[in-house]
Structure 1
Amino acid sequence: MKMTSIKMKRKLDELFESDAWRVSFNRDKDVYRIEWKDTKQGVSINIPNVIAKYERRGDTALEELQFHVSESLKMMHEDHQLEGQEKQIYPVIRATSFPKKTKAGTRLVYSEHTAETNIYYALDLGTTYQLIDEKMIEEQGWSFERLKEISTFNIRSLSVSPKKDTVADNDFNFIATQDGYDASRILNEAFLEEMKANALGEVVVAVPHQDVLIVADIKNEAGYDILAQMTMKFFAEGRVPITSLPFIYEDKHLEPVFILAKNKPKE
């Protein structure tokens, strides 16, 4: 029997039963909401999406939903301290279109990186992380420079073990540890300089989504086309997409490049 929105609502009522939370269901929009009774901060869930996942994966899909929603709600209700948590602060790369404020309207702390990307700052909480906003650093009495310095040090301390794939004489190095900071390793200048020192061709870097960094040693024109196709595919499939444009790395500078336009087939 086909799962209806009302039946799914009843399942969600059981999953999110708590004295501290209030649940509601908007029939017109097919949206289910769980929020804290005291702050009214919460999470909205699109019921048709949940039904589609449930029909594919059964109760496993609902267990995952319960975990992620509960983690999100827990984060909203915690007062996180930066002091004493210095080793848990990391930079995260996001597209320039990424929101500059939290849903509550507080400005997020970020710095400009390239024409395509900005750097945000995150407090790692284990299974997830919280983006740091201006209110947090003001309350802690931190300066932006201190936050930037600590996060940069921490990203350099993460291991970098690329897996190499050679296609048409071009080397493609992939960093995909799934720790949430793969794309952030583009800020590890020592690593990029090492790759540059060992490259035979042009070093081109890509961060199509949060969970991968590609550093390519491009030795011929075919390499550009391969990287362009690869980057577009990763970008389309990424959980947190960043940019489909790769960057030429030259003189410690990243310059976005429209590869397909640059390398049209010769007549």
Structure 2
Amino acid sequence: MKMTSQKMVQIIKDRFEKEAFSYDFNRKKDTLRIVDEQLQKGVTISLPGFIAKYEEKKEEALEEFFYYIKESFTAMKSTDPLKGKERNILPVIRSTSFPTESNDGIPLIHDDHTAETRIFYALDLGNSYRLIDENLMEKENWTKQHLKEMALFNLRALDTVVKKDQVAGNDFYFVRSNDGYDASRILNDSLLEEYAKKVEGDMVVAVPHQDVLIICDIKNETGYDILAQLTMSFFTSGRVPITALSFIYEKGELDPIFIMAKNRKKED
């Protein structure tokens, strides 16, 4: 039986029946907003995207979703100041469609990155994180530059776990350290330069979702087709999707590209 948005909303309500949550199902936008009544704050999800994951992963997708919702509300409850937690501040990559304000309308600290991606900054809380907004910055009297330098320093200090696969003569390196900041490693210039020195073909990178960075040594047209399939698969299955587009890396710059039927086109 086909899963519909209304059926999925009921599944979510049933699973959270013991929680003090309220729900707002927007049929026109096909979204569901879940609000913690105590916090008076909520999380909005796109139902079609979640249903697609559910149809692929079933109970595993539900468990990931419920964990994400509970941890999101835990992060919202945090009122911890930033001072003394400088080592727990890290950058996170999100799509350019990601909101630049909190649900309370407070601007989130962010920087432009590429035409497809944007940089936000987070206070890591262990099992979750809190995006840093202007209110938190004002409490510490920090500048944005100071925040950025701390975040990038902490990023470079993270261990990086890489798995290499070779397909049709092309090399694919998957950065998957499972710490929530794998996509963020696209900001580690020294890491990218390390791979730039050893690639034999085109260096292409991708961040389809927050928990993976793909670095590729593309040596033939088949490599681009394989990468296109990879990025779309990761993009549709990731808990926090970023972009299905890839990026050519040349001279320290990232340029988005479309990959279509053995042809590639740099985005204007």
Normalising by the smaller structure, the TM-score range is 0.7 to 0.9
What is the identity percentage for the equivalent residue pairs of Structure 1 and Structure 2?
48
Structure 2 partner of 1:19: none
Q: 1:46 to 1:246 in 2, by over 3 A?
A: closer
**Residue deviations 1:76-113, cap 9 Å, x none?**
22212111101101100011111111111001110000
Matching residue's letter, 1:131: L
Structure 2 partner of 1:35: 36
Q: Secondary structure at the match of 2:161?
A: coil
Q: Is residue 255 from structure 1 mapped to residue 255 from structure 2 by the alignment? A: yes
CA distance in 1, matches of 2:212, 2:255: 19
Structure 2 partner of 1:200: 200
Richer in strand (by share): 2
CA distance in 2, matches of 1:45, 1:200: 42
CA distance in 2, matches of 1:260, 1:63: 32
Q: Is residue 175 from structure 1 mapped to residue 175 from structure 2 by the alignment? A: yes
Q: 1:105 to 1:259 in 2, by over 3 A?
A: same
Question: What's the TM-score once normalised by structure 1's chain length?
Answer: 0.80
Q: 1:250 to 1:83 in 2, by over 3 A?
A: same
Q: 1:94 to 1:201 in 2, by over 3 A?
A: same
1:1-20 equivalences in 2 (<5 Å): 12-13=16-17, 15-16=18-19
Structure 1 partner of 2:155: 155
CA distance in 2, matches of 1:63, 1:183: 19
Structure 1 partner of 2:84: 84
Q: Which consecutive unaligned segments of at least 5 residues does structure 2 have?
A: 1-6
Counterpart contact for 2:173–2:216, Cα < 8 Å:
yes
Q: Is residue 125 from structure 1 mapped to residue 125 from structure 2 by the alignment? A: yes
Residues paired across the two proteins, number: 248
Q: Secondary structure at the match of 2:260?
A: helix
Structure 1 partner of 2:135: 135
CA distance in 1, matches of 2:229, 2:21: 44
Q: 1:190 to 1:43 in 2, by over 3 A?
A: closer
1:85-124 equivalences in 2 (<5 Å): 85-124=85-124
Q: 1:108 to 1:217 in 2, by over 3 A?
A: same
Question: What's the TM-score once normalised by structure 2's chain length?
Answer: 0.80
Q: 1:130 to 1:260 in 2, by over 3 A?
A: same
Matching residue's letter, 1:232: M
Structure 1 partner of 2:211: 211
**Residue deviations 1:148-207, cap 9 Å, x none?**
000011111111231110111110000112211010011111111010111111110010
**Residue deviations 1:15-68, cap 9 Å, x none?**
33xxxxx55577998x7966344x533568999x99xx8xx659x968983x55
CA distance in 2, matches of 1:259, 1:226: 10
Counterpart contact for 2:109–2:132, Cα < 8 Å:
yes
Counterpart contact for 2:42–2:103, Cα < 8 Å:
no
Structure 2 partner of 1:72: 72
The Cα RMSD (Å) is 3.4
CA distance in 2, matches of 1:188, 1:45: 30
How far did residue 71 of structure 1 move?
3.3
Structure 1 partner of 2:235: 235
CA distance in 1, matches of 2:239, 2:16: 24
CA distance in 2, matches of 1:198, 1:9: 51
